[in-house]
Amino acid sequence: MGVFYAAYFVFAGIQLPFLPVWLADRGLDAREIGLVLALAMATRPVVVPLATRLADRRGWLKGPLIVASWVTVASFVLLERSHGFPAILAAYAAASLTQALILPFADAFALRGLAERGRAYGPVRLWGSASFIVANLGGGLLLQRFGAPDVIWGLVGALVATAAAASLLRPLHPPAEGAGPAAARPSPWRSPRFVAVVAAGALIQASHAVLHGFASLQWAAKGLDGLEIGALWGIGVVAEIGLFAFSGRLGTRLRPLDMLLLGGAGAVLRWTVMAFDPPAGLLPALQGLHALSFGAAHLGAMHFLAEEHRGATGQGDYASVVAVVFAVAMGASGLLVSAFGSFAYLAMAASATAGVAIAAGARRSARA
């Protein structure tokens, strides 16, 4: 699983910053690039819940993960062969459908398989975060050395490694009695605690929208150069890795809802300070809070879904809701930054506060 996560996040670490460069090299303008990327996001909340429910009904996890990984490889090869906006749009939409399935199935497989072996999820998942940093740097070197046309082959290579790792994963043991396929249980949406965790997690994760969209621009306006900006992003991921590395010990002391609350509190603090345009010297500490605002919130949600035996259905539904709420927040963030500048972070703090309130309510009801 560590190799799988490392390979997949090499792909993600190249795709996120450098795929738009490849699209521009193929002749797409800014509007067309935006449409290609937006359509890819829009397809995910439709296909993921359907696929995960079917898989849970059949008791599948490893099989769909392998199929989704290899079909995504083929789809990106097709994308490389595509020219012109309509063909690229169609090819990338097809690639996005199967790519969207990879992480929900992988997380469901990992959480159950690692639990069978008495292993924690965080120390395995951290290899994905570490490889993401390496891929950011490696993708830049790839672009500099070979040019934009060959970026796509870096993506294909990482996907091949991902699919190969998925194919070599050891099978899971049959589920214990009473913990069978999630589809055999009532819909997760009938559980108030599931609804609360999904809502809280989505609100906390979506509160990163202004940071993702505009932090680099705001830091550049402070006079920071590219290396300093890159270092700030790196600090956030290193802090996340540190939390994942010790999450096995934390898991014995903190319940999933406690982790979710801790993540939300870190987000509220982070965005509240960011709203008041802090000096550059304070930014490394604020980036260190990424361990809480993303890392703790993510681990809390993942551990909750694992304890509830929600399988791929729970993972898919959670990922889909987070994607939709994040997309809405990202769309609003541009308007907020245009109107209010750094005070847009107060809206992100409000989103995280709402998540904390929902998680706190779920925690109280669980202890009642």
Looking at residue 196, its amino acid is: A
**What residues contact 330, with CB distance under 8 A and at least 6 apart?**
209, 212, 213
The verdict on 286 and 322 lying in the same domain is yes
Residues 148 and 6 both lie in one domain: yes
Tokens of 260: 């979710």
**For residues 85 and 36, what is the distance between their CA atoms, to the nearest angstrom?**
9
Distance CA 312, CA 108 (A): 5
Q: What is the pLDDT of residues 214-263, one digit of tens each?
A: 888 888 888 988 778 878 888 998 999 999 988 888 767 889 999 999 99
Answer yes or no: do 88 and 22 share one domain. yes
Give the per-residue pLDDT at 187: 78
Q: Residue 16 — φ and ψ, nearest 5°?
A: -60, -50
Its domain, for residue 71, covers 2-176
Cα separation, 126 vs 262, in Å, equals 19
Q: Considering the domain boundaries, does residue 49 fall inside one?
A: yes
Q: Are 312 and 188 in contact (CB under 8 A)?
A: no
- What pLDDT, on the 0 to 100 scale, is given for residue 368? 57
On whether residue 183 sits in a domain, the answer given is no
How far apart are the C-alpha atoms of 270 and 286, rounded to whole Å?
6
User: Does 168 lie in the same domain as 264?
Assistant: no
Return the pLDDT at 309.
66
Q: Enter the tokens of residue 263.
A: 């993540």
Q: 24 near 34, Cβ under 8 Å? A: no
Do 251 and 162 fall into the same domain? no
Q: Are residues 126 and 204 in the same domain?
A: no
How far is residue 219's CA from residue 32's CA, in Å, rounded to a whole number?
28
If asked whether residues 227 and 310 sit together in one domain, one would say: yes
DSSP state for residue 254 in the 8-state scheme? S
- Domain assignment present for residue 52? The answer is yes
Q: Which residues contact 26 (CB under 8 A, 6 or more apart)?
A: 83, 88
Residue 93 and residue 98: Cα distance in Å, rounded?
9
d(CA 355, CA 245): 25
Per-residue pLDDT of the chain (368 residues; tens, 9 = 90+): 999 999 999 998 888 777 877 888 899 887 788 778 777 667 777 788 787 777 777 777 888 899 999 999 999 999 999 999 999 999 998 898 899 889 888 988 888 888 888 888 888 999 998 898 888 778 777 777 787 888 899 999 999 999 999 999 988 876 554 445 544 566 788 889 999 999 999 999 999 999 988 888 888 888 988 778 878 888 998 999 999 988 888 767 889 999 999 999 999 999 999 999 999 999 999 999 999 999 999 999 999 988 876 677 888 889 889 988 988 888 888 889 989 999 999 999 999 999 999 999 999 887 75
Nearest to 331 by CA among 169, 214, 204, 174: 214
| Cα–Cα distance, 200 to 261 (Å, whole number) | 9
Same-domain check for residues 153 and 193: no
In angstroms, the CA 186 to CA 12 distance is 34
Q: What is the DSSP code string of 103-132?
A: HHHHHHHHHHHHHHTT--SHHHHHHHHHHH
